[in-house]
Structure 1
Amino acid sequence: MARPDGTFYIQPSHTTDSFVMAFALPDTQTGEPIDRTLQAFTFREGQALRLEPGVWHSVPIPVRFFGIFDGEEESKTIGPVPVQ
């Protein structure tokens, strides 16, 4: 839910949870995301963020849903990835 000033505040349910989110700045003319500004960030150990109105963002993605791919095996191993 948006706050009265239009910002969003996102934090994990538990201080030990971690999540990843992707962000992109909006084009001032069209409002569409600018590809070259796309970045992803990991939030962990109780970190939270406040999003300004208009910032394009993904949903929070729990770190436990990421897969491990070493580039050598044909079948990919999906499992927890430790946060570094």
Structure 2
Amino acid sequence: MQRWVLSAYLAEIRGSAIQRLELMTSGRYQLRLTDEGGRGSRNAGLGLRVLDAYTGDQREISSLSGGETFQASLALALGVADSV
């Protein structure tokens, strides 16, 4: 139950964050929710990946450069602020 609630909050936050990240990256990146868990299945449904519009591929957030990671983190933080 708790995982479902967290997943619902994350979906709401992602909705705000995706708009901000697209604006910051001129439409290159979008945040995507995944069903994959980080470690084991405890985090199932709480994963995030990045869709790269230049390549059409989804990739791990950890594969972003330092500046891109900063933009993704900032977009998520602003998404949290928008949702609160």
On whether the aligned pair clears a TM of 0.5, the verdict is: no
Q: Which has the higher helix share?
A: 2
Bigger radius of gyration among the two: 1
Q: Which has the higher strand share?
A: 1
- Per the normalisation by structure 2, the TM-score is 0.29
